[in-house]
Structure 1
Amino acid sequence: MSAAEFTGLAVLHDDVLMVDGASGSVEAGDVLALTGANGSGKTTVLRVLAGMLEPTEGVALVGGRVPVDRDPVFRRSLAALIGPPQTARDLTIVEHLQFIAATWGATAGTAREQGERLLADLAIEHLARRYPHELSSGQSQLVALAMTLARPFDVLLLDEPEQRLDADRLEQVIDVLAVRADAGAAIVLASHSPRLLDALADERVHLEGV
């Protein structure tokens, strides 16, 4: 059984065909890349896998289960960065990470350590005590990724994680994601970055659009 798969996926939304006939799968420890022009349906496929959108036709499974956002077993299995995460203006970045980890069962001390480690892995530990509104766009992207990685998951969905990152920062993100894949996570990502695709993708699904 694949960690995540979709077969014959079609989504009709407000009489607009968002994606038509997309199929792909990813095993634990591998990276599946969704490629294609803007509007080709990459984000739509990620939303279906995340349980945020129901397909009009076809089947999507994560861990053998139909994605349902309210299913606690499904929610425990998957983390997704699709659009900016919600933040609280009065919590620092490390407090956000600590809160997320604690929500998923980590003790206060462990949650703090995990948050600080994530920031160090992404070379943004200097942002620990800043607030979300004090970040640049590139810093916000790295913090969003850290918030996504702060919780447990078997499957990781990422929509263009390279957004607003310079070359050095992109290399750090590639390294962090490679570590997660090596540890057994299945990753599905949409990307326009040749560097990221060459470094991480085990398989690719190219969407032509409709």
Structure 2
Amino acid sequence: MGAVIEVDSVDVVAGDATLLAPVSVSTRRGEALVVRGRNGSGKSTLLRVLAGSRAPSHGTVRIGGEAVTERDRGFRRRVAAMIGLPPLAPDLTVRDHVTLVATTWWDDPRAATRRAEEVLAELGLSASGSRFPHELSSGQMQLLALAMVLARPFEVLILDEPEQRLDPGHVASVVRALRARRDGGATLVVATHSPVLAEALADRTLQLDAAA
């Protein structure tokens, strides 16, 4: 089976600063690539390149055999990303946010609502569904951001430190959710500082310290 993600000699340079040293890696369908490295080693920059929000200075990136093009709807449907917290509407509840995302991507409104409820339950957010963003803890905000990504369809899932601000029990829930997507055939790229998440999820590991 061919590679879903192909990164060939990619780097990112801004003026005199190297944000991402040259890196090459590939990942197949149904695999999880875990990206490790100290702060500043380029993990988030690499994820932004994969998600199409940052162009590489050199090298090439292909996902599904095609160039990364964020403005292409086909690319956006294949690739979902959580890099930082998304913008939230203060007058929408947790359930509203997740259902809105699901409805954007699923044609059947009933299927979208069902999908939203499943993801809320999976991440332990059902009881917080009627809360507004300002009523959430930092960990619940992180789970909401993840729920908004998981509520939509994707073939490739890109996540930057999904374990941030989460206690061990919620990290375990996130691990189960991500393993289910991987085992269902999605390709995952996850940057993390968590040894627990890395050990539970990684089929391949990319260590950026040596390249930075």
8 Å contact kept, 1:35–1:192: yes
* C-alpha distance in 2 between matches for 1:112 and 1:39: 39
Aligned to 1:87: 88
Deviates more, 1:63-72 or 1:30-39: 63-72
8 Å contact kept, 1:102–1:108: yes
SS at match of 2:67: coil
Deviates more, 1:96-105 or 1:28-37: 96-105
Q: Which of structure 1's runs of 4+ aligned residues deviate more than 6 A?
A: none
User: Where does 1:1-210 land on structure 2 (aligned, <5 Å)?
Assistant: 1-208=2-209, 210=212
Shift in Å at residue 43 of structure 1?
0.5
8 Å contact kept, 2:7–2:25: yes
* C-alpha distance in 1 between matches for 2:188 and 2:171: 17
How far does the alpha carbon of each residue in 1:4-51 deviate from its partner, in whole angstroms, 9 at most, with x for none?
Answer: 121111101243111111111111111001111000001010000000
Unaligned runs of 5+ in 2: none
The one-letter amino acid paired with 2:145 is: A
How far does the alpha carbon of each residue in 1:162-204 deviate from its partner, in whole angstroms, 9 at most, with x for none?
Answer: 1011111100000000000010000001011101011000000
Q: Percent of aligned positions with the same letter in both sequences?
A: 45
8 Å contact kept, 1:94–1:112: no
8 Å contact kept, 2:34–2:204: yes
* C-alpha distance in 2 between matches for 1:106 and 1:149: 16
The one-letter amino acid paired with 1:153 is: F
* C-alpha distance in 2 between matches for 1:175 and 1:81: 17
SS at match of 1:3: strand
The one-letter amino acid paired with 1:29 is: G
8 Å contact kept, 2:35–2:207: yes
Deviates more, 1:34-43 or 1:92-101: 92-101
8 Å contact kept, 2:160–2:190: yes
* C-alpha distance in 2 between matches for 1:138 and 1:146: 12
Corresponding pairs, count? 210
TM-score, length-normalised on structure 2?
Answer: 0.96
Shift in Å at residue 108 of structure 1?
2.2
Unaligned runs of 5+ in 1: none
Q: RMSD value over aligned CA atoms?
A: 1.1
TM-score, length-normalised on structure 1?
Answer: 0.97
* C-alpha distance in 2 between matches for 1:112 and 1:72: 22
